[in-house]
Amino acid sequence: MTRSCRASRLFIIFFSLITVFCNLANAANFPTRPLVMIIPYAAGGSADVLGRVIADEMGKVIGQTVLPELKPGAGGNIGAEYVAKLAKPDGHTFLFASVSLSTSPSLAKLNFDPTKDLKAVAGVASIPSLMLVSNDSPFKNLGEFVSAVKANRIQASFGSSGNNTGSHLVGELFKSASGIEMTHIPYKGSGAVYPDLIAGRITVLTDVMGSSLPQAKGGMVRALAITSSKRSKLLPNVPTFAEQGYPGFEFGTWFGFFAPAAVPDEALKIVEKAILQALKSDAVKDRLDAVAATPLPGPGSEFEKWYLTDVQRWAKLVKEGRLQKVD
């Protein structure tokens, strides 16, 4: 080996060691500024409300303010793409995602690949939904509703908080399970749907309990069914879909955290630890209990496996024709 080759190798080794030491030093000082939690959904929805509670508790743990920032649109894909492609991958910006991150790879045209461009940080919980009608609706249960649609007594429609969101997906799944036709009416966030539902301008809405429960308990709308496997103690008189002739019909809107794929592992572990500690706080536990949430696998490595399995589950439903892609 020539002297110049040895010198080149020594330089490469030295440069690599410097890079490692710099990364370790940066990780030791992380975070160096406030963190940004991208919430890719509209203000006032379940993700916004829950995300802000978690952000407050994370800030207490990590020693920096955690700033929720809304980037709604395209069923959550605008905010997700921002984190995947535009956010600096240093751990200071992360995504509070929901079920649309599982469905979009199969249902939407994306400029990024969530399974490759994002890295799972921590899982939070899955929350059931309520199928709702207006108080003036003649329907008291699923059987009456489905019978009316099949007999062509009504032209049914269902609202959602946007294409590929949970309220859209569960509506499409119920169309497939019941064999009825309903026109999908997407809105910009769940808060925009309720005035039309209450006024009877749309027939039904199946919305996550974080936003639907106050409406149902407040007497603004009537709940026909809940998408969980058993009745909720929060609304014990509302039967499940399975009880009304749809065995196995379950749906949960999940929530979890992701970061750009290139974020250093050292920084990722610090964010993961802060999230997991925040989830143990009374404020977060009370919020999750108030919407009948079921915990998801928490640590990033476990949540990553759960998430990839969920992506495959939705891809299978699309392949079977139970869900259609949105152009």
Structure tokens, 262: 């290139």
pLDDT the model gives residue 272: 98
Query: Would 249 be classed as within a structural domain?
Result: no
Same domain, 96 and 149: no
Q: Does residue 241 surpass a pLDDT of 60?
A: yes
120 and 259 together in one domain: yes
In-domain check, residue 326? no
Is the CB of residue 261 less than 8 Å from the CB of residue 116? yes
Calculate the alpha carbon distances from 122 to 178, 184, 300 in Å: 35, 32, 5
pLDDT at position 25: 46
User: Has residue 170 got a pLDDT over 90?
Assistant: yes
Top-confidence residue, 325 or 59: 59
Among 244, 265, 300, where does a domain finish?
244
Nearest CA-CA partner of 178 in 214, 151, 142, 206: 142
Q: Do residues 120 and 260 both lie within one domain?
A: yes
What's the domain count of the chain? 2
How buried is residue 119: exposed, middle or buried, by Cβ count under 10 Å (0-12/13-18/19+)?
Answer: buried
Mean pLDDT of 234-248: 97
Residue 248: pLDDT over 50:
yes
The verdict on 123 and 137 lying in the same domain is no
Mean pLDDT of 236-262: 97
CATH number for the domain harbouring residue 120: 3.40.190.150
- Do 92 and 43 lie in a common domain? yes
> Is a pLDDT exceeding 90 seen at residue 6?
no
Q: Indicate whether 11 pLDDT > 70.
A: no
pLDDT given for residue 213 in this prediction: 96
Residue 208 belongs to domain with CATH number:
3.40.190.10
With 60 as the cut, is the pLDDT of residue 50 above it?
A: yes
For residues 120 and 134, state if they share a domain: no
pTM of the model: 0.86
Domain limits for position 266:
10-127+254-319
What's the pLDDT score for residue 270?
98
Residue that finishes a domain, picked among 244, 275, 305: 244
Q: Does one domain contain both 121 and 259? A: yes
**pLDDT (0 to 100) of residue 24:** 47
Q: Within a domain: residue 49?
A: yes
Do 176 and 72 fall into the same domain?
no
Question: What is the per-residue pLDDT across 145-157, written as a single tens digit (0 to 9) for each?
Answer: 999 999 999 999 9
* 151 and 232, same domain (yes or no): yes
Domain boundary among 195, 221, 244: 244
Q: Give the angle subtended at the CA of 76 by the CAs of 266 and 278, to the nearest 5°.
A: 40
Residue 1 lies in a domain: no
Are 183 and 102 within one domain? no
